[in-house]
């Protein structure tokens, strides 16, 4: 089976930790072939299916120059065995447009994971609002007075943009309220942009846990991303230390409650962020941490993902709508 990865430039991959690379390596081990492109390579022309200019690649087994391009061609997405959307955020207009092109490819018979409409319906910060029983006190607003009132009630808060990743743009404001106005103005752009505010969770010192859910089932280990030094962010991109650990009872409760719901919507792979006992984000665009968990515990997350992908493809009805 030929797997098409829609991703960031392959040349930018850090293969020692990249989860998309782990997927590719496991796919090749199983005998699948690989193709890759970026969202900018997608095209639709009246009378034709959605296509992409793709590079057919093979893995070299080397840390440097880790892939070799066998050839380049324009491929109809419906002709790939599966299309894996692994482009990193931000979820900007171009990402949004790409999901619509991928959705058209689905209508033509392509098998896309995660499902494009589900990517649109589950923005990673706001998706938690559907599950209030698992989250910390949270506010979503543009209004500075709302933020001030939330701070007055909770005293120690976190503010963050809705479109960030890797801990980008996250601020903590303590009981003294120092710089609250300036931070709010920066994030809400004078009331033009919505932001999220949450009660600070002191359990962050033990890690911001990434709980992976594949095909509705939780991976048995989470990666606790522990802030270092004076940093409040545990994100690996912000210098956090990743420590793999078995799921807690609460981690598993959240994952087993949300997993089947999200999987039924076409989200084959989800990354839940949990601090203490609280769900803080639902990551659906390009969840990571496969390799860190594998390296520290021996549990092969990529194998679990390929198992789920192959099972999902085997279960696809044979009566896909034909392309006219």
**Helix extents (H) in the chain:** 19-29, 93-107, 116-121, 144-154, 180-188, 249-264, 290-297, 301-314
Compute the radius of gyration of the chain from its Cα atoms. 20
* Catalytic residue check, 225: yes
Residue of 125, 188, 209, 235 with catalytic role: 125
Residue of 225, 235, 251, 292 with catalytic role: 225
Residue of 106, 251, 273, 292 with catalytic role: 273
Residue of 86, 160, 199, 209 with catalytic role: 160
* Catalytic residue check, 148: no
* Catalytic residue check, 281: yes
* Catalytic residue check, 160: yes
Residue of 86, 233, 251, 292 with catalytic role: 233
Angle of helix 19-29 relative to helix 290-297, nearest 10 degrees, comes to 70
DSSP assignment of 275-290 equals ETTEEEEEE-SS---H
* Catalytic residue check, 130: no
Q: How far apart are the first and last CA of the chain?
A: 24
Residue of 114, 188, 235, 283 with catalytic role: 283
d(CA 32, CA 30): 6
- Cβ contacts of residue 161 below 8 Å, gap of 6+? 168, 169, 187, 193, 195, 196
- Whose CA is closest to 74, among 48, 103, 106? 48
* Catalytic residue check, 125: yes
Residue of 18, 108, 124, 281 with catalytic role: 281
Residue of 78, 208, 210, 235 with catalytic role: 210
* Catalytic residue check, 210: yes
Give catalytic residue positions: 125, 160, 210, 225, 233, 273, 281, 283
């Amino acid at each position: 089976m030929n797997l098409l990865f829609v991703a960031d430039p392959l040349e930018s991959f850090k293969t020692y930790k990249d989860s998309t690379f782990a997927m590719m390596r496991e796919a090749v081990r199983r005998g699948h072939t690989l193709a890759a492109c970026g969202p900018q390579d997608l095209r639709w022309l009246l009378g034709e299916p959605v296509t992409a200019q793709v590079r057919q690649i093979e893995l070299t087994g080397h840390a440097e120059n880790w892939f070799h391009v066998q050839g380049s061609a324009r491929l109809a997405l419906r002709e790939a065995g599966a299309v894996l959307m692994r482009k990193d955020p931000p979820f900007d207009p171009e990402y949004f447009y790409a999901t619509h092109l991928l959705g058209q490819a689905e209508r033509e018979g392509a098998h896309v994971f995660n499902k494009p409409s589900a990517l649109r319906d589950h923005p990673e910060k706001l998706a938690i609002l559907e599950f209030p029983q698992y989250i910390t006190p949270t506010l979503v607003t543009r209004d500075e007075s709302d933020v001030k009132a939330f701070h007055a009630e909770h005293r120690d808060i976190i503010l963050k943009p809705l479109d960030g990743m890797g801990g980008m743009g996250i601020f903590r404001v303590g009981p003294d309220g120092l710089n609250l106005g300036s931070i709010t103005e920066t994030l809400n752009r004078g009331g033009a942009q919505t932001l999220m505010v949450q009660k600070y969770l002191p359990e962050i010192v033990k890690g911001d846990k990434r709980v992976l859910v594949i095909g509705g089932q939780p991976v048995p280990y989470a990666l606790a991303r522990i802030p270092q030094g004076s940093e409040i962010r545990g994100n690996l991109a912000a210098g956090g230390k990743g420590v793999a650990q078995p799921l807690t009872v609460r981690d598993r409760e959240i994952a087993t409650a949300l997993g089947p719901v999200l999987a039924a919507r076409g989200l084959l792979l989800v990354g839940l962020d949990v601090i203490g006992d609280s769900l803080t984000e639902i990551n659906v665009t390009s969840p990571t941490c496969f390799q860190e968990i594998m390296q520290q515990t021996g549990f092969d997350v990529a194998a679990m993902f390929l198992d789920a992908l192959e099972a999902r493809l085997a279960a696809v009805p044979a009566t896909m709508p034909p392309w006219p």
